[in-house]
Structure 1
Amino acid sequence: MPKPLNPKCQLCSKLPTSKAKVLHGTQGDGCWNPKVCHNRRSFYRRRTQNENNGTEIDAIAVKPPATYFAVLYLYKEPGDKPLHALGAELWLGQKPVCRLEPIHCFGLTAGKIRAYTDQVLQAFAKQYDVSLYQYKDMFEITSSYCPVRPCPLHPQS
């Protein structure tokens, strides 16, 4: 029985090599192995092309419903680590319409963070005259991708 395909490698094969090395190299998650990754990426790319060439299926387009929803971005390390930063976005259908630029959470208690995220929801609701009771989704992003500058994780050179 053949070995199952690795979804992580499938996604990686679609990236340019330079980005793949950054995401999965020593600065990323550390899974990049130059002895096997080049061949494996080529295998996954060719496999995807062959699957797409073999069978052609019809596609239709149906406009998705345009509803407002908010998402919360949490910049933190995996596990039970403290929150480094947070940001939020308001979406209408498939497009973001408003963004709260991320802020650092140093010195903020869990209660203050909760109150702040509730204020953000209220601000989105007031600005666009919609009802928002909670965030539709929360995404945890590793703190090394923190976009706030200046940041202790990214000292100025």
Structure 2
Amino acid sequence: MPKPLNTKCQLCAKLPTAKAKVLHGTEGDGCWNPRVCHNRRSFYRSRTEEKSGIDSITVEPPATYFAVLYLYKEPGEKPLHALGAELWLGQKPICRLSPIHCFGLTSGKIRAYTDQVLQAFAREYGVSLYQYKDMFEISPIHCPVRPCPLNPEL
């Protein structure tokens, strides 16, 4: 019986190599292996090309509002470096909170701030938002706030 296909590798094969290395390399989840991944990505790409003879349809997904929170922090019980948020309508982001540094903010102040962001999204677009649909942890190395102690400007 053949080995089942790895969903993670299937999704990774669709990404450009540089982006795949960032997501799955030492800064990401650590699963990138240069001796294996190039061949595996090629295998998964050619496999999806073989199936291109199958008809497909597109059905527009329902457009609902939801908010996501981006936390820039090291894995584990490390302090929060920065945070940002987005409001989405269906498959597209429609409003973005520019990320801020969280230096000196207590967990209570961070929680109050994230609640204020939800309320601002809800007020601006006339929708009900009670919580974030998802939270994504991103390495602080990718912090977009400038100036940033992790990315000093020379």
TM-score bracket, shorter-length normalisation: 0.7 to 0.9
CA RMSD of aligned residues (A): 2.3
Aligned residue type for 2:95: C
State the 1:78 CA deviation: 1.8
Aligned residue type for 2:149: P
Aligned residue type for 1:93: G
Q: Show the counterpart of 1:18.
A: 18
Q: Percent identity?
A: 79
Give the Cα–Cα distance (whole angstroms) in 1 for the partners of residues 153 and 144 of structure 2.
13
Give the Cα–Cα distance (whole angstroms) in 2 for the partners of residues 22 and 60 of structure 1.
31
Q: Is 1:126 aligned to 2:123, yes or no? A: yes
Aligned residue pairs: how many?
Answer: 154
Give the Cα–Cα distance (whole angstroms) in 1 for the partners of residues 37 and 58 of structure 2.
36
Q: Show the counterpart of 1:39.
A: 39
Aligned residue type for 2:99: P
Q: Is 1:7 aligned to 2:7, yes or no? A: yes
In structure 2, the CA distance between the partners of 1:148 and 1:45, relative to structure 1 (3 Å rule), is: same
**139-148 or 108-117, larger mean C-alpha shift:** 139-148
Which one of 78, 83, 87 corresponds to residue 80 of structure 2?
83
Which one of 57, 64, 79 corresponds to residue 59 of structure 1?
57
Aligned residue type for 1:8: K
**16-25 or 96-105, larger mean C-alpha shift:** 16-25
What is the DSSP-based 3-state SS (H/G/I as helix, E as strand, rest coil) of the residue aligned with 2:153?
coil
- TM-score, normalising length: structure 1: 0.81
State the 1:113 CA deviation: 0.3
- TM-score, normalising length: structure 2: 0.83
Q: Show the counterpart of 2:70.
A: 73
Give the Cα–Cα distance (whole angstroms) in 2 for the partners of residues 28 and 58 of structure 1.
33
Q: Show the counterpart of 2:49.
A: 49
Segments ≥4 residues shifted beyond 6 Å = none
Q: Unpaired runs of 5+ in structure 1?
A: none
Give the Cα–Cα distance (whole angstroms) in 2 for the partners of residues 36 and 45 of structure 1.
14
- Please identify the structure whose Cα radius of gyration is greater: 1
